Each structure stands twice: as C-alpha cells, then as structure tokens.
Amino acid sequence: MSHYTGAPKSAPGIFTPAGTRTRGGGGTLRKKLWAGLTAAALCLSLTPTYSAPSAQAYELQRSDGKLGEIKGSVYGRVFVDRVDNIATFDKGDEGLPGVKVYAQWVDFNNKKLKGAVSPVYWTETKADGKYSIKLPNWTDALGVEHEWRAQAGQGLRIWADNPDKAKYVNSFVESDGVFVNNGMTQRYVGTWNAWPQSAAENMNISYQERPKIQEMFPDESTWRETTNQENGGYVNGSVFYDQRNYFGAPKAVRNFQDGFGDVAVPGVKVVGTYVQDEVARRFDTWKSEHRGYTREQFKVAQREIMAKYKEETGKSPWAETAYAITDAQGSYHIQFRGLWGDSYTFKGIMKNGTHGDLVPENATNASWLKGDFGSRHVNVAYMYVAPVLPEGVGGALDNFPDNMFGPGDKVPDYATLGGMSDLHNQDFALRMEDRDFQVLEYNQTDKPAAPGATVQTKATGFVPSSGHEIVWTDSEGNEVHKCISTSSNLGVVNSCPLTVPADLDHDEIYTATIYPEGSRDTALAKDAFAAKPTPEYKHTLVDLDTTETVASPLHKENGTKPRDAKYSPLDDNAKIPADLLADVDQSKVKVGQQPWATVNEDGTISLAPTRGQAEPGEYLVPVKMTTPTGEKILLAPITVRDPNADADNDGTPDLKDQCPSVAGPASNNGCPAWGDGDGKPGSDVTLAKDPANGPIPDTATCEASNGATCSFDGDGNVVVKVPGDATPGTEITVTVKDGDKAFDTSKVTVTEPDKPIWNDGSSKPGVPVDIPNTGGPVPDGTTVEVNGPGTATLNPDGSITVTPDPDAKDKDEVVVTIKDRDGKELDTVTVTVTDPDTDGDGLTDGEEKKIGTDPKNPDTDGDGINDGDEVNGTKNPFKDDKSDPNGKPGNTDPLNPDTDGDGLTDGDEVTGAKNGGKATNPNKADTDGDGINDGDEIKNGTDPLNPNDPGKPAPKPKKVKKTLQVTGATSVGLAGTAALLLLAGGLVVTRRRKA
C-alpha cells in the first residue's frame, strides 16, 4: 500500500535555522523538513514557481537505437498513466511521442574501469511512446575504453523532459531516475539482459495529468477547511518528497523512506470532493448505455452530465468540497460531512434526513454505519482528491492519475477503502521535475581541466530544503572532497567546488556524486571531468659534430615529471595523433626518428648529429610515453645548426647572429640597425639605415615613445614624426622589430624649436595692420600686451593684428610685447603711426580727412589762408574769437572763405589787403562794432576798425551752411551767432546816438 513505512517524526518548529538537524526515533538523523517552498509555493496561495534547466546542459550525445535491436541499448516506453500500474504500460494508458529521453551509465568500479561516468545519451520517443537509446563504447580522458554490458556492478540512470509541464506531472521513472548500487536487482519492472545482449529493457517513464484545480473542483469560496476527525467519511494520507523506494515494490507503490532521503512536506493544501447522488446515478446510467467506452469518452461525459445536472436543478453537481493542510509530518486528514443514506443507490432505513441531502455540520444524529437511522455516506466511487501543486513539482497521484471522478480504491495497492466511506493512505509522492546535476565548464573527453583549476558543480531540481551531500572521488575511488548543504526552497543545491592539485603529475578523472544526506547508497546523479597536465619536451639546439642531451619531458603547467612514466621511440609516424601535427609544416620540419637521436627509457634523448649524416634544420622526434593510465605520443622539437653557417650573408655567423634571416652590421649582432637623430617639435627626423642592412621584412614594424610616430620610407630609413608639443631635451625611443623579435633601438632627441618672429610695421590712425609670424610656431598659451595708442590681437594663424587709435598722431608708436604661457618674452613688435601732410598746409592728411578738407590742397576754401593756419588760428591776430568754440584761439573755418560772412575773405581780413594793410577780425563781421559790416565799411570808404567813422548800416549777415564735421561746423554756428549779437549791439549804439 502507498503509505508510510514509519511516519517521520519532526520537531514542531519546521522553520528551523538553515543547517540545523533534528533527531527522531531510533536515533536516525532526520531530514530538515521542507519549510521554504512550503511557504513559498505549496501553501494556500502560490507564488511564481521555479523551472529547473533541462538535462540538455550536460555533455550530450544523440544516440538513437533501433527498436528490435536490443544489443548495447536501453529501451522502454514513455506514457501517460491512466489505469492500474504506474510503472507498466496498460490498456487505457497513452504513449507520448516526441519526448526526449536521456540515459547515463557508470562502469565497474575496478582498478581499470574505475567507476567511470559516461556521457549523457539521448533520443526521442516514437509515435507510440517507445524509445531506444544506443549505449556505444566510449573512451575516457585516460584512454580507457568503456563498454556497456548490463551486468551487476554497472549503474544506469534514465530520465526525460516533461513534454508539457502545464498538462503533466512526472509520476514514475524506472529505478527512480537515480544510480543504484546494483542495477540488476534495484528496479521495479525493468530488466537487464547481460552480455552479449547488454541491454536494459522495459525502462519505463510515466506521467499523469497535472490536477486541474479550477476544473475538478467548484469555486474555491465553497471549499471548507477541516480540522476535525471522525471515524468515517474521510480521506487521509501523506505528502512527501520521494527520492527512491524499495525496488520490486508491487505496482511501484511509493512509500516514505526516511533512510533513502525522502522528505515530508508540511503546509500543502490537499483538496477532496465527490459528486451528488443523482450525478453518480447518471454516471452509472451512461456507462451501462455505452458498453466498451474509453476512459477519455467517460471523462467527457462526466463534464456534460454535471453541466446538465446544474442546468436542470440549479444545484451544484459537487456534493461537497473540503481540504486539509498537511502537518509537520506531511500527513493530512480531509473530513467530509456526508450525504444522508447508506449510499447513492440505497437509502436504507435512514430517517433522520432526506436521502442525498448534505448532512448538517456537527450533526449529532448522523452515523457513518450502514443500516442506521442516521446513516450517511460519501460517494467514494466518484470522488477526486489532489494536492495543489506549483509548476515544476510533479509526483505520483496514486488512484487519481487523470482529471476525472473515480473510485478512491481503484488500485488497492495505492489506497484502500474502509467500510464507512473512509479512504486510507491516499499518498502523494512528489518529485522535483527536470533534475539537473553537472560539472561546469569541463568534461572527461574533450575539455579537461588543468592543474590548479577550480571546478564548480550545478545542481537544480532536487528536493527543496533538505540535506544533500556532494562527494568528489578520484579515478581510484578515493574521496578527495565533499560538501554538505541544504538545498534552497527551489531545490537548488550549492556548488561544491573542487580545486585540482596544482602539482598534479598524472592524468586523473574526478567524479562528483550527489546523495541525499546520510544515504550514500542512493546516488541521485553523477558527472565527471578529467584533469590532465600536459607533458612536453623543451626545444633543444644542437650543432653539427657536437653532442647534446634533450631533457626528459616535464608538465608545462607546473614543471612536474610525469608519474611512473617510461619512454620508447615511436617508429611508425602513422601512430602520431593528427592533432599533434595540425600546425606543423612538414615541408620545413622533418618528423620521425633520426639515426643521430637515441630515445632513452628515462625520457632523455641523446643527440650526436654529424656532417654528412644530419642536415641543419628543424626536427620533431616522436616519443611514446607509457604510464599506468595509458600511452601518449610526444614530439621533441630539435634544431640542428651548422656553426659556420651565415644564412643572411652579413658576415656574422648564424650562431652569433641574433637575426640570422635578416642582414645587419656586426656591431648590432647581425641585426639591422639605424642611427640616432634629433629634431625640433613638429618636425620629421629621418634615421638613416646602416649600410650593412639587408631588405627589411614586410612584417617589420617600428614603435616610437613619448607620443611620436614612425614609419619606413621607400629606402628602408625610419622617419620619426616629433610631436608638436614635445619638450626640448626629451628622448624619443624608436624600436624596430619583426613580431616579437627586436632588430634595433635608436633615439631621437628633441631640440629647441624655432622661436616665432614678428617684424615691426606701420599704419595710419584707426587702420589695422597684420604682422605675420615669420619664425617658428607660436606656443600654446601665448599672450600679447600693448603699450601705446592702439590695440593688438594674436590670430590663430600666428599673425598679430595691430590697430592704432583713430586719434593717434604721426610717429606715435604702438609697442606690442608677446609672451609665452609662463610670462617669458618671445618678441616685441613696434608699429609706427604714419600721418603725412601731403599739401604742406600744416594739417596731416588724417586730420584733414577728419574735418573734411582736401589733403592735397593747402587752401581748400581758397580764401588765401592755408587750412592749417585756419584751424590753428596762426595768422589771425584776433585770438579772442573762434569759428570752432572748441578749437584753438583765433581759428577760422577752412571750408568757408568768409567765416564771418562780412563780404571779405578770411585772407583779406587777416592781411588787411582791402583795408590798407590793417587786419580785421575774420570771425566778426563788424570788427569795430559800429553796426556796419567790415566789407560794407570798406565799400563805403569808412574805417572798419573805427566805430566813430559812420557809414551805412550793415546788412543782415548771410547764414552759412554748416559743412565742418567737427571744428568748422562749430565755428560757423558761433560766427553767425556772434554776427547777430554784434548787429544787435550796433543798433543799440545807434539808438544811443540818436538819443
């Protein structure tokens, strides 16, 4: 029966700290109960679940067998279990096509085969669910061949990928999907046919339908949690994680086996329900009317009957639904209330209620006995019980393998029915699906680890929150490392890293095996990797007509000598592995035994090449190394040299020539050479090749330090580009090489750069002039300072633009000082202001341009006075009056020949040419203030300088258009105003006279 063989006793506090252990009866070390996933995934509400990676992360090899050809194979069927034995394909079961099935086997644990773990082989099931995997011979990293013989002492493990995790749960795997001590007997229905057939047959894997909670039960709001226990009307059982069972158990019944690492699961919701009496009767009627029906047809009919019943009666087709939560031992007890009557087909003498009605809760007049006034019953013929499972968790559902209502005791081996509607030991043996255990990164065929490497393991899909032990063993079966850890609440077991000894001196295979803690007879999974140091001969040079000894090989990773190795010559080149010669150009390298090379048993090779017997060149001498783990072929690289040879004809013998294939001077040991040089920042420096240099290989390169670059010119010289910002005194190292071979090293010394130079210049006031840099480059950070009437700007091209002020005078100097970023003076530029007096009138051309006079005409207005004399008032004896109030004393308007408008030119007035040599005021129309203009007085014959010499009144002076830009305009305005005032004054005087 599917019940406990000793229920686990657990401490009440299931949330014990990680790593703690509790002990139960008999002193047996109990497994830590699965608390984490209980709370996280299997309780009343589910959190997102974890789906472990598939087995395809292994070192996989597809190996399809042929059905009917059983030799050297494992075969069986993958199917959906619906009836009877969970381990066998029975009538009514359904084969699953296209399912990936995997197999891995372990060889005999003897001195030669050492329990080696095979690669993982896989195939896909056919349309009927059958599969066959060919288990070929394979060779491990030690060169040992392994043959599957299906005999005691070998081990086999199979598993499969769930084809639809939303639809199926994995309910059974032959031999529980683990490696066992003796596969010949440790199985359920499979058999091993030993050599010569060497086959394992009936290695079956079954799935059952994942419970459809929302389909098989009414709305969750109608569920009733039960905690009471009565003597009838119940379903009980347990929920546990199943590692493995006693093999040969009838119908592969799942029993709780603490010693095998099974773990009780508390906190799981288990739900039970059954249909109404009328629904049960309609089920019976349908079956009687459909003889020979299939299970799938009846499943469909059940849904239709229940829906029609609800439509016709308005009542739920479910009689009642109850659930219980598993306790600390994983046990549950669902207590139903029951329906009145002996059964759904017979009322009996019951009179305490209506036949088929639900018995009230806590009814005291109800009995689970038949033939009683208060008899009640549960329709155990049409019930359904299931745990609420998250995706990724499967297991055996016993008598409820698919989503339909049926008898709880359909297979009595799984659960039994009592006489009072009581179903016993309806257990649920859970398993994490997609178990995956592997060694990461390395394997035992083509990816060996080197000495000192640390190798990790990966383990997912194992029983959650339970102890697991990962044990590492070497090829002799010796335990070299182990880790004990508690898996996470998602079934992940921590990596158990193994570090290969750094001084490993032989080939080794390390196997990782994962067990339930405390149960090493249940190998849940295995994987292995090879660790291989690499023996090698060092390259040896020998000259003709001399002797030399090649040292015995050492491991290149750690320098150790191969353990227990013996050596002998290999006479047949055909035995040399192809990979050893993959990169060898045999047109240039001679491979094979040589008469002048003797391989000794200790691995040394005695060399004695002589002229005429041996030719200079490269050789690979094959050597066979034999160790307790097998044979290896090694190649000893040897170079035979002629001590007098000069391959490049440069006069330096090859033995002394450090560049024997490229000619160069003896002073550079036969390597090409180049001289040193120097150059200013930003310049190109050519390093001339030595005359003894031969042609430089196209693969040669040059490198320069301190930011410089270099290249070869067409003549083999090296051209070095000195950075523009290089600091004088810096040495640039130039290295010429070909690959890793350095030919020569030269140096370039950075010299002082040419200083920038600017010449002096000249310009007119207000006119910019560009002074170009005629010397070296202008350093970054250079600034300019100006002294004198003007400004200066340093331009990006290095020129300096100097602009004299507009009012700068002729021969003024604008001095520009140029300094570097440190304030050091680089140069001084002087720009002289040039402003000539072309017409010699006493005004510079710039001044004339400013006031509007003609710089080429000394007397612009033709009044007989030079423009300069007018502006400066030089010839005017009357200094108190001005044409330009802001100008010099006595200035007149150089643009107006008659500044005061009195009818006399300014020249006639200051010279007195019209007045008998006596000057009149050119800025005052009535010099004597008698009311008569000077011109009129002269016309009248009166004295313009004597107010008492009467004449005609002076006419109103004419207004003169203001034409002076600065001085002249102001002078005309003031002169007009003065004339009016003078006239007014004259009238006043006249009135006084009349008075």
Q: What is the pLDDT of residues 11-46, one digit of tens each?
A: 222 222 223 222 233 333 333 333 333 333 343 322
What percent of the chain has a predicted confidence (pLDDT) above 70?
Answer: 89
Q: Cα(687)–Cα(570) distance, rounded to whole angstroms? A: 54
Q: What is the mean pLDDT of residues 432-445?
A: 90
Q: Name the architecture of domain 666-750.
A: Sandwich (2.60)
Q: Cα(376)–Cα(380) distance, rounded to whole angstroms? A: 12
Backbone angles phi, psi at 872, to 5 degrees: -90, -10
Greater confidence, 280 or 180? 280
pLDDT of residue 953: 53
Across 38-52, 326-340, 754-768, 835-849, which has the greatest mean pLDDT? 326-340
Greater confidence, 318 or 882? 318
Asked whether the beta carbons of 136 and 558 are under 8 A apart, the reply is no
Q: Where does 276-427 show beta strands of DSSP type E?
A: 318-325, 331-335, 339-340, 376-377, 383-387, 393-396, 416-417, 423-424
In the chain, domain spans? 55-209, 213-431, 434-531, 535-641, 666-750, 761-833, 845-994
Q: Name the architecture of domain 761-833.
A: Sandwich (2.60)
Instruction: Give residue-wise pLDDT tens across range 675-732.
Output: 999 999 889 999 999 999 999 999 999 999 999 999 999 899 999 999 988 999 999 9
Domain spanning 55-209: which CATH class is it, in words? mainly beta
- Residue for token digits 């029951």? 338
**C-alpha dihedral, 69 to 70 to 74 to 78, nearest 10°:** 60
Structure tokens at 311: 């439509």
Strands 224-225 and 318-325: parallel
What is the length of the chain? Answer: 995
pLDDT class for 757, splitting at 50, 70, 90? Answer: very high
Structure tokens at 937: 């007085």
Count other C-beta atoms under 10 Å from residue 65's C-beta.
22
**Residue 990 predicted with pLDDT over 50:** no
pLDDT of residue 251: 79
* Domains 434-531 and 535-641 alike in fold: yes
- Tell me the three-class secondary structure of 307-348, residue by residue: HHHHHHHCCCCEEEEEEEECCCCCEEEEECCCEECCCCCCCC
Domain spanning 434-531: which CATH class is it, in words? mainly beta
**Least confidently predicted of 522-536, 571-585, 875-889, 969-983:** 969-983
Which pTM value belongs to this model? 0.59
Q: Name the architecture of domain 535-641.
A: Sandwich (2.60)
Structure tokens at 660: 């024997």
Instruction: Give residue-wise pLDDT tens across range 390-434.
Output: 888 989 999 999 999 999 999 999 999 999 999 999 999 998 888
Kindly state the helix (H) or strand (E) to which residue 295 belongs, with its residue range.
Answer: helix 295-313
pLDDT class for 952, splitting at 50, 70, 90? Answer: low
Asked whether the beta carbons of 426 and 254 are under 8 A apart, the reply is no
Instruction: Give residue-wise pLDDT tens across range 122-164.
Output: 999 999 999 999 999 999 888 889 999 999 889 999 999 999 9
pLDDT class for 989, splitting at 50, 70, 90? Answer: very low
Q: What is the mean pLDDT of residues 656-660?
A: 87
Structure tokens at 374: 């208060």
**Least confidently predicted of 20-29, 62-71, 214-223, 471-480:** 20-29
Asked whether the beta carbons of 421 and 380 are under 8 A apart, the reply is yes
Q: Cα(189)–Cα(88) distance, rounded to whole angstroms? A: 7
Structure tokens at 447: 């990816």
Cβ partners under 8 Å of residue 327, min gap 6: 266
484 forms bridges with which residues in the sheet?
469
**Residue 765 predicted with pLDDT over 70:** yes
Q: Cα(713)–Cα(853) distance, rounded to whole angstroms? A: 68
